[in-house]
Structure 1
Amino acid sequence: MNAPLFDHLRRLATALFGRAGDREIDAISRAVVDLPYAALRHHAHTPTLPTWLDTDLPAAARTLLNSYKPDTSPNGT
């Protein structure tokens, strides 16, 4: 069931970071799966979503993606 999601995460990781190792896929997943899920879950019991979420959530995802630094150590994966 999650195979299409993981395929897309691999494509995004390759496009953004040039590779799709475990660490790159995890970085993408945090930004485009975990963060949005947590933000929306936080407001799940409110009648409407805050309008500022439309700008705050993409900005936070960009910050996460920009903070990724590949492991350049000889044993890095």
Structure 2
Amino acid sequence: MNSKAPQRRRPPVWRLVIEFFWGLLLARVILGLIDGDNLSSAEAWLTPRVWGYPLFFAVVGVYSYLYWMRHRDD
């Protein structure tokens, strides 16, 4: 018997970019709602300090997506 391990394909880069920006936007909206920010103002979206935590959550989201894609057959 020849038992080969299944080949794992890496997701395409465009999928990771979409996953990153989706996580970034979702985290920004959720944190904005929790903090009570006015999300309709330009200042709430353009101030650099408000993107720190969402950036962290987006990176963690992409990492967890890659981890899940790699270990989903285990």
TM-score tier (shorter): 0.3 to 0.5
TM-score scaled by structure 2? 0.41
Higher helix fraction (1 or 2): 2
